[in-house]
A and B are shown apart, each in its own frame.
Chain A
Amino acid sequence: MVLKVKIVNRGFAKGALLISRQPISFFGGVDPSTGVIVEKNHPLEGASLCRRILAVPYSKGSTVGSYVIYGLAKRKIAPSGVILGREDSIVSAGAILGGIPVVLADMRKILSSFKNGETIILDARKGRILRPV
């Protein structure tokens, strides 16, 4: 299974996939000291972003979200890669500053091709997502 994706920030990551069907607010919605989603009633409330490959349709809320992603990366508790459903300058800018690979993909294809929690490889040098062999 190889899924072609568009590169936003180049890089390479391997990790457990964390799929969020709902958008995430990084400022206010994520604890900057732990990387855990703390937004009340978010489907992923309590889940940790740390070293996961996060698939999220887009982000919501304050543009300060970029700085939160940067801070998580600095503390090594950020996602190791991000798959976005559509262009999102808040996530992209934060990930670029934090050195996190980012790609754009069709969220429906992600949902139909991969299972939440399975280990995947995000190859944002060649623009593809695959399962490790």
Chain B
Amino acid sequence: MKTHITKEMFKKILESTQTGRKKYVKISSAHLSGISYLNIGDAGLEFLEDLGRSGLRFRVRTTINPGCVDFDRVFECDPEVVEKQERIVRSLKNIGAKESLTCTPYLFDNPLRKNQKIAWAESSAVLYANSIIGASTNKEGSLTALASAILGYTTRTGIHLRNGRKPRIFFEYDGKLKNELDYGLLGYVMGLKAGAEIPYLRLKKNSGNIFYYKQLLAGFGTSGAAPMVWIENLTPGFLRVKKPLRKIVLDRSELEKERRNLSEEAPSSRDEKLVFITGCPHMSLEEIKGFQEALESVNRLSVEAWVFTSRSTYSEAFRKSLLTELFEKGVRVFKDSCVMHCSLKKGRVHVLTNSVKAAYYLRGALKLKTTLKSLNEFIEEYGGK
């Protein structure tokens, strides 16, 4: 059958998500999910190739999520998967997508400014764009983000409405947050309790490390449905709340409970292959630098360590010689792909990770065993002198 994907179809897709009068808002940037062949399979590949032949083009700057293959380390994956992942990327590139292959497009590939209206899929990037940069996007689905990229507008719903950024629930956390894992756990706990409501968060003391919030927001995006978190003294913008919000005080025990829920007893590395995975969401330059510095204190690692990042960040890090230490200690640095990596699909691997989001999906989608460990805990336990 001759395929005929038209602009009209994408208009209808946006229409079908709204009831009543249809309203739209112009956007200047899009980010697409549903890129990995492991996720979309042959059905998605077929659709994206038809789209590539449809003559349609993206009307705004459009970046794409990671796939499941690092194109410089293709030998680690089934050749059929590599070939199909390549075809997916080629199709999207042909109609105007930037070959970013990252879940952190806000770092290099699709930079944003405050108040910019955008249509992004990928929950962790949506949360970051709204809460840290002050841009505006709903949590778009793969197809609504695609429709918006083609049409140049999205539905005026949710966060794009007059009161769409208002928090409805107030979280206070008085305890200590030691590291990136604690922040991730706090975000995850907040998401479980907030449901679809935008929370306001007050900490005893804000961290100076912006990337701790990246973990907090990725954790929140995993368990919650809201597109943003108002973080006191951090989220840009002006907020006026008339009614006092429903207040929930969170404590350490709730973080520990979720940590246990996402952790198995780590085995002695003899019975199962142990791998430490970090870079979910993709590591920034600063995070790579932090890892490099932490590695300087040890001579070797007793288990494998994998780092995931974008090809843009990789090039920058390489240029600034931030990767040498990692290579010397045997750390494998992946780009273009994410922790839902082709080689983990059927592996008997027990994953140690500092990412709550990674643990959640590796358990759920790939049925792997996981144990949560912060970066420093990992180096202390598995680094040798």
B3, B19, B50, B144: which contacts A89 (Cβ < 8 A)?
Answer: B144
A67, A76, A96: which contacts B44 (Cβ < 8 A)?
Answer: A67
A5 within 8 A of B: no
B41 within 8 A of A: yes
For residue B290, give the distance in angstroms from its CB to the closest CB of chain A: 34
Of the candidate stretches B5-13, B162-170, B368-376, the one touching chain A is B5-13
B16, B46, B144: which contacts A74 (Cβ < 8 A)?
Answer: B46
For residue B335, give the distance in angstroms from its CB to the closest CB of chain A: 24
A58 within 8 A of B: no
- On whether A93 and B143 interact (CB within 8 A), knowing A63-B34, A71-B47, the answer reads yes
Interchain CA distance A92-B14 in the complex, whole Å: 10
The majority secondary structure among interface residues of chain B is helix
For residue A100, give the distance in angstroms from its CB to the closest CB of chain B: 12
Whether B143 lies near A68 (C-beta < 8 A) is no
The residue of chain A having its C-beta at the shortest distance from the C-beta of B11 within the complex is A96
Interchain CA distance A109-B307 in the complex, whole Å: 54
Whether B12 lies near A71 (C-beta < 8 A) is no
- On whether A63 and B143 interact (CB within 8 A), knowing A92-B16, A93-B16, the answer reads yes
**Interface centre among A70, A89, A93, by most B CB within 10 Å?**
A93
B158 within 8 A of A: no
Residues of A55-107 at the interface with B, using a CB-CB cut-off of 8 Å, are: 62-64, 66-68, 70-71, 74-76, 87, 89, 92-93, 96-97
Which chain B residues lie closer than 8 Å to A68 at the CB level? 43
The residue of chain B having its C-beta at the shortest distance from the C-beta of A26 within the complex is B43
For residue A103, give the distance in angstroms from its CB to the closest CB of chain B: 12
Whether A75 lies near B1 (C-beta < 8 A) is yes
- On whether A64 and B41 interact (CB within 8 A), knowing A71-B47, A75-B1, A89-B144, the answer reads yes
Interchain CA distance A42-B16 in the complex, whole Å: 28
Which chain A residues lie closer than 8 Å to B144 at the CB level? 89, 93
Whether A64 lies near B44 (C-beta < 8 A) is yes
B40 within 8 A of A: yes
Interchain CA distance A32-B46 in the complex, whole Å: 12
Which chain A residues lie closer than 8 Å to B141 at the CB level? 63, 89, 93
- On whether A67 and B46 interact (CB within 8 A), knowing A74-B1, A75-B1, the answer reads yes
A9 within 8 A of B: yes
The majority secondary structure among interface residues of chain A is helix
B42 within 8 A of A: yes
Whether A71 lies near B46 (C-beta < 8 A) is yes
Residue interface mask B1-34, A partner, CB < 8 A = 1: 1010100010011001101000000000000001
For residue B85, give the distance in angstroms from its CB to the closest CB of chain A: 15
B142 within 8 A of A: yes
B269 within 8 A of A: no
Which chain A residues lie closer than 8 Å to B34 at the CB level? 63-64
Interchain CA distance A93-B44 in the complex, whole Å: 13
Which chain B residues lie closer than 8 Å to A92 at the CB level? 13, 16-17
Interchain CA distance A9-B144 in the complex, whole Å: 16
Interchain CA distance A17-B141 in the complex, whole Å: 30
Whether B43 lies near A70 (C-beta < 8 A) is yes
B324 within 8 A of A: no
B39 within 8 A of A: yes
Whether B9 lies near A97 (C-beta < 8 A) is yes
B interface residues (Cβ-Cβ under 8 A, vs A): 1, 3, 5, 9, 12-13, 16-17, 19, 34, 39-44, 46-47, 50, 141-144
Sample (11) of A-B pairs whose CB atoms are under 8 Å apart: A8-B16, A9-B12, A9-B16, A63-B141, A66-B143, A74-B46, A75-B1, A93-B143, A93-B144, A97-B5, A97-B13
A interface residues (Cβ-Cβ under 8 A, vs B): 8-9, 27, 32, 62-64, 66-68, 70-71, 74-76, 87, 89, 92-93, 96-97
Assuming A63-B141, A97-B9, A97-B47, what are 16 further A-B pairs, CB within 8 angstroms? A27-B43, A63-B142, A64-B34, A64-B40, A67-B44, A67-B46, A71-B43, A71-B47, A74-B1, A74-B3, A89-B17, A89-B143, A93-B143, A96-B12, A96-B16, A97-B5
